[in-house]
Every structure is written in structure tokens, then in C-alpha cells.
A and B are shown apart, each in its own frame.
Chain A
Amino acid sequence: MSIKSSILKRSIWVFHLNTGSCNACDIEILDALTPFHDAERFGVKLVVSPRHADAMLLTGPVTAEALPKVINAIEAMPRPRMIIALGSCGCGGGIWHDTYSTIGGVNKLLEILKERGIVVDAVYYVPGCPIRPEALLYAVALIKGIVSKKREMKIYKAE
């Protein structure tokens, strides 16, 4: 691991962006940042401007209304930029994955970003409805290299 990578992993400033969530994941994020869970011990700090952020905490399926703002916010982040997709809706759209008013999860968002030439250096998925604060801390620990991935991604298709 290079020195640059080591320093970047020691200080993870997060920007919280609700893209149409029911607020359950947002409450859990706040819980993770309270003294009880103490995310600051991992160098995590909540910032208000995407200009300061290293990682974006994305909650909810991305609604069509929110999409331009979400793209602007991600573009405003300095590189290397990460997205931590939170909750079932954030990861794959949840029960809203194919509704008319949402684009459905972070993977669709990544496709749109790629079309526009906006690079996202890493994406982390934290499933759950809502997520548990410990799950968010696990994602942070994963970024820092403290723990290993729980599962490898597998795509099952109907025969």
C-alpha cells in the first residue's frame, strides 16, 4: 500500500446525500455518527459541502427529480471520490427499482455518470432496510482495510 493511499484511508470525510430515501437510513447514519458508535475514531467526519468530502453516503433510490442535483454533488467532490450506497434502495432501488419516478439504485446512477465522463473511484454497498449503524462502520472498516469483504458479488439469472 502506497503512502498516499495509506494517508487517504486514515481520514475519510463523508457527505450525506438523501436522493429520495424514506429517512430510515438517514436516521441510522446519524446514529453511526453519535458518541455511542463514535465513527470519528476511524477518522470519519461528517462534512456539509461535497467539496470537502472523500465519500458520499447515498441513501434512497435516485429519483428523477433529484438526479441532476446528485450528479452536480458528485461532480463537486474532489478525486479520489467514493460512493457508499446505503440501504436496499441505495444499492439496487429496493421496491422502487422499476418505478416511473426513480432511476433505481446506484448502479444505474454509475451508468449515467460514466456516460457524462464523471469518474467514481470506488463504490461500496451497504444493504439493509434500514441499514444498521454497525453495517456503515463495517463499510468504513472495509475502506480502511481493517476487515475483508463479507461476500463476493454474484449475479444470478433465471434460466
Chain B
Amino acid sequence: MEQLLVYTLTPLIVLYAIIPVILDGVERKLKAALQSRIGPPVTQTIYDLLKLVLVKEIKTQPTILYVYLSLTSSIVTGLASLYYITLYALRGDQVDMFYALALFAITTSTHTVTPLIVPNPYSFIGGIREVVLGVVNEAALITSISLYTIMAQRSVLKSTQWVTIIAVALVALTAFIASYVASSRVPFDIAEAEPEVASGIFVEFSGSVLALNIYSLLLRRLIVKLLVLAPTVGLLYGFSLTGLLVVLLLLPATWVTYATVAVILGRSRVDVAPLTLAKIYIALILISITVLLVQAYA
């Protein structure tokens, strides 16, 4: 059975590797439509990445080997995380989800550490800003998805008690907000907010290293969406092959929703945003845990 699953899921992993680039093109087209303009073609992100691979890279930084290693490990662990999320959506085994979360944490940390190993002060400042946001958000993302997974495992929605439904709703809200923030969209697009902030994390990279960085970012966007979609579908529909197909069908819709929210939201001050976010997360998680504890002891 395990062998069969591996053979079946391998083509899906290849698909996962392509999907974020295409969906980013769709997102750019959608943003253009919302802003009443034509926008780039859907294939623009593919052209951008191919172009970056083709141009001659400027290798001034002595740590270039570590940068390549860190980015490659980020992408490989990201794809491994996607494999475990798919297994979770199929089987509903919460151990798969915890593997996926652990691998995602490695993906994020290796991606975040990349600008810090480059000997450029502007890159370092941008990297520290990303680390601060990561510390606030990753903790909330992992906590909320862990709680969400436990709730999905126990099929808590079969209970008709309103307190349970409130707790599930709060945890789901936290998970979706955390996944939105982790997808680095406005106003949390610190990595990409470069036209305004010269100290972006990509500032020193060129050519294929920049292409790897952008691809790693797009892959993270895919992972964070699947991380919240898998337990949501499991909770509402159950874990099966049909459930996995529902997750895959909902993926473009979720991507488009996040893109629409990004267009609607304005930019926030990068120094204030993580603190406000931390307060919201603490409030939401504490309320949902309290509700669950009250329900357990009542």
C-alpha cells in the first residue's frame, strides 16, 4: 500500500512543482483586472524565472555556495512537505500533518536565513525584518494548524454544541490569517516590498539565485494554502481520495481569494504590522483554547 501511494503521488509532486508558477501568473492577471488594466500574460512568471536563469549571474558574495545549499534545501523540504500534506488529505493520519508542519518549518527557516548569510547590510536588515515576522507568524500557524488537525481528527463538528463551533471557527480563522501572512502578501510582503524598501531580502541576489529565491517563495505560498485546506476539507467532508480532489479543486479558488484580499488591503507599516499581528493571534488562540477547555470540563 505504501509503495503504491509513493508511485501514485510522485506525478502529483511534479504537478505541485509547476502549479505555483502558473497560479502566480493567474494572480497577476487577476490583480490587473481588479485595477482596470490589461496586465501581463498568465505565463509572465515563467518568462521571468526563465530569464533570470538565462542572464549572467553576478557572483560577488563569498557565501554563494551556502546560499545555493540553503535555497535548494528549502525547495526540497517544501516538496516533501507537500507530499505529507497530500498523504494527510488522503488518510487523515495526524502524524502526516505533523511531519508536513515540521518540514514546512525547515523550508521557512532555510528560506529566511538566506539573506542573513549574504555580506550585505541592506540584505541583513531585510532578513531580520523577515525573521521577526516569521517568529510571530510561524508559531501561530503551527499552533493553529495543530489544533485544527486535532479537531478534524476528532470530528468535532459532529457535535452540535455552539461553543465547539465557535472554537473551530476561531481556530480556522487564526489558521487562515496565519497562512495569508505566511504567503507574503500585502501588507506582509516584506520580502517583495522592494520598490519602497531598498533593504529587501533579495537585494543582493541576481540571476539563478534570484530565480531560486522567487520560486521558493511561490512554493511556500502553495504549501501554506494546502496546510489549511487539507484539515478544512477533512473536517467538513472527510479524508479520502475524493477529499484530496476537493482540496486540489479548492486550491485555485483559495489562491484567487488571497490575491483579491491582497489587492483590497493597503500597505501597513512594516515595523508595526508584526506586533499587531501577534496581539490578534494570542487573543484568537487563547479564546479558542479556553472554549475547548471549558467544554471538556463542563
Contact = CB atoms under 8 A, between A and B. Distances in A.
Nearest to B200: A48
Contact of A51 (B28, B40, B58): B58
A4 B54 contact: yes
A76 B58 CA distance: 7
B50 interface: yes
A11 B51 contact: yes
A10 B48 CA distance: 8
Given A38-B37, A51-B204, A51-B206, A7 B50 contact: yes
A43 interface: yes
Given A38-B32, A48-B195, A54-B55, A43 B200 contact: no
B195 A46 contact: yes
A11 B47 contact: yes
A43 B90 CA distance: 40
A145 interface: no
A26 B56 CA distance: 28
Contacts of B83: none
A49 B122 CA distance: 11
Contacts of A45: 48
Contact of A40 (B40, B55, B197, B202): B40
B203 interface: yes
Given A35-B36, A41-B39, A48-B194, A11 B206 contact: no
A52 B204 CA distance: 9
Contacts of B210: 51-52
B194 A47 contact: yes
Interface string A55-83: 00000000000000000000010111000
Contacts of A43: 40, 44, 47-48
B198 interface: yes
Contact of B202 (A35, A41, A49, A79): A49
Contact of A38 (B39, B50, B202, B205): B39
Contact of B37 (A11, A35, A80): A35
A8 interface: yes
Contacts of A13: 48
A49 B51 CA distance: 16
Contacts of B57: 78
A7 B194 contact: no
B119 to A, nearest CB: 14
Contacts of B195: 46-48
Contact of B38 (A4, A38, A49): A38
Contacts, number: 80
Majority secondary structure, B binding face: loop
With a 10 A CB-CB cut-off, give which of A51, A78, A80 has the most chain B CB atoms: A51
A8 B49 CA distance: 10
A42 B40 CA distance: 6
A26 to B, nearest CB: 14
B35 interface: yes
B51 to A, nearest CB: 4
B252 interface: no
B187 interface: no
A8 B54 CA distance: 8
Contacts of A35: 32, 35-37
Contact of A52 (B28, B44, B206): B206
Contact of B51 (A10, A41, A42, A48): A10
Interface string B172-207: 000000000000000000000011011010111111
B32 A78 contact: no
Contacts of A10: 44, 47, 51
Interface of A: 4, 7-8, 10-11, 13, 35-36, 38, 40-43, 45-49, 51-52, 54, 76, 78-80
25 contacts: A7-B47, A7-B50, A7-B54, A8-B51, A11-B44, A11-B48, A35-B35, A35-B36, A35-B37, A36-B37, A38-B32, A40-B32, A42-B40, A48-B198, A49-B194, A49-B200, A49-B202, A51-B204, A52-B202, A52-B206, A54-B51, A54-B55, A78-B57, A78-B58, A79-B55
